[in-house]
Structure formats: C-alpha cells, structure tokens
Amino acid sequence: MKNFNTFTENLKKARKNVGADKCWDGYKAKGTKKKDGKEVPNCVKEGSKPGLWDNIHARRKAGKPKRKPGDKNYPKTLNVDEGAAWTKKEGQNKSGGLNEKGRKSYERENPGSDLKRPQPEGGPRKRSFCARMSGVKGPMKKPNGDPTRKALALRKWKCGKS
C-alpha cells in the first residue's frame, strides 16, 4: 500500500507542476523531469517552432523520403567558413611550404606571428629549419610514391645540400 501512496503522491506533484509558474518568462512547463534526484518542471519555450531534427523525424514517421540538395524545401545550410587558406591546398605551395596567400591567412588567424618565405640560399633560418624538420618523424613518401609535405619542404629549403 505504501508504494501506491507514493505513486499517487508523485502523480499529484507532476500534475501540479504541469503549467506551474515555476518557469521563466516565455517558458511553459510541459511535464516533469528528474534533475539532481528531484522532480522539476520541464520548462519549454512557448511558441517555439520545431527544429530541423523534429522535421526530419516527422518525415521519417510519415514514410516520406529524405529531401535532397536542390529540392524545393531542402534546408539551408549555415554559411560557415570551411577553414583557413593555410590549411587547404589553395594556401599551400605545390613544391612545399605555404604560398603568400597561406602565410597571410596564418598571420590573420595567429596575430603576432611573422612567417617569412623559405631561405634556401643559407643563413641561420635555413640551418634552424633543417635541423628541426630533419628530426621530425614520418615518411618521406606517400604510399602512392609521391613525396610528403615534409619531403617537399625539406627539398624547397635545400636541406640535403649544404
């Protein structure tokens, strides 16, 4: 009998919390949820439109096919920059290192940095770069036989030749 009384008591609490004024302005209690072991009202924004996932699940439930890019009601994607030029091919030099666009892109993302062009003719920058990069672990060739970015950079700086 004790379990039944506890159950009815919890049910009364839940009914009382539904529509309770314990939510913020603009929010409405829709049922309850457990939070830190306590039953609290589940506050949901009033008049909120269903999100993208709600639409997808509703279409699946109705047995409709997925929308494809180019369809009339295909959801618009966010205009997110895919990444900086220095991380993509457009900012990388084919013969190794970064091109001017890649260096400028890196400097924009990392204020205070001052990337310079390779110094293959010699000098302290060349010696420092060759010492650092020659010690980096990793293959010099890709599985298809093409040189890796590391190999291209070492070649560009003429690290094998003194």
Global pTM reads: 0.41
Contact 151, 91 (CB under 8 A): no
pLDDT at res. 146: 92
pLDDT tens per residue across span 60-71: 888 888 777 777
What are φ and ψ of residue 73, in 5° steps? Answer: -105, 25
Return the structure tokens found at 70: 């180019």
Q: 121 pLDDT exceeds 90?
A: no
- If you average pLDDT over residues 38-43, what whole number do you get? 81
Tell me the C-alpha distance between 145 and 110, whole Å: 34
Tell me the C-alpha distance between 13 and 4, whole Å: 14
pLDDT at res. 141: 92
User: Please, where are the H alpha helices in the chain?
Assistant: 2-17, 52-62, 100-109, 124-134, 149-156
Contact 118, 97 (CB under 8 A): yes
pLDDT tens per residue across span 77-103: 645 456 777 788 888 888 777 888 888
Question: Exposure of 86 by Cβ count < 10 A (0-12 exposed, 13-18 middle, 19+ buried)?
Answer: buried
pLDDT above 70 covers what percent of the chain?
Answer: 83
In which band, very low, low, confident or very high, does the pLDDT at 14 lie, cut at 50, 70 and 90? low
- If you average pLDDT over residues 133-157, what whole number do you get? 89
Q: CB-based contacts of 81: which residues, under 8 Å, 6+ apart?
A: none
Tell me the C-alpha distance between 95 and 29, whole Å: 62
Question: Exposure of 83 by Cβ count < 10 A (0-12 exposed, 13-18 middle, 19+ buried)?
Answer: exposed
